[in-house]
Amino acid sequence: MNYRDIALLGIDVGFSKYRPTTGIAWIANGTFGAAKTHTDWERRRKNLPPATMFSVIAIDGPLVPGNAGYPRPDV
């Protein structure tokens, strides 16, 4: 497999429910993209190349229990 055949996606998950604090970077088909977006999938998806099957996905996110909520209501 040629390294150009590998599609990579990196996500740095933000910790705000209201502000765009999630960073996304990808490289696929010889092109690169990066964006700052929100935590919900609908807005994240708009920043990714359509119909791309990623070979490798790296995620950096906060390690908290799923029911922990956010640290402050205004975050």
pLDDT averaged over every residue in the chain: 82
pLDDT at residue number 71:
58
- Count of Cβ atoms closer than 10 Å to residue 61 Cβ: 12
Place of tokens 């996110």: 61
pLDDT at residue number 69:
62
Statement: residue 68 has pLDDT above 60: yes
Statement: residue 29 has pLDDT above 90: no
Statement: residue 58 has pLDDT above 70: yes
Statement: residue 67 has pLDDT above 90: no
Q: Where are the domains of the chain?
A: 3-60
Strand pairing class (56-60; 31-37) = unpaired
pLDDT at residue number 10:
94
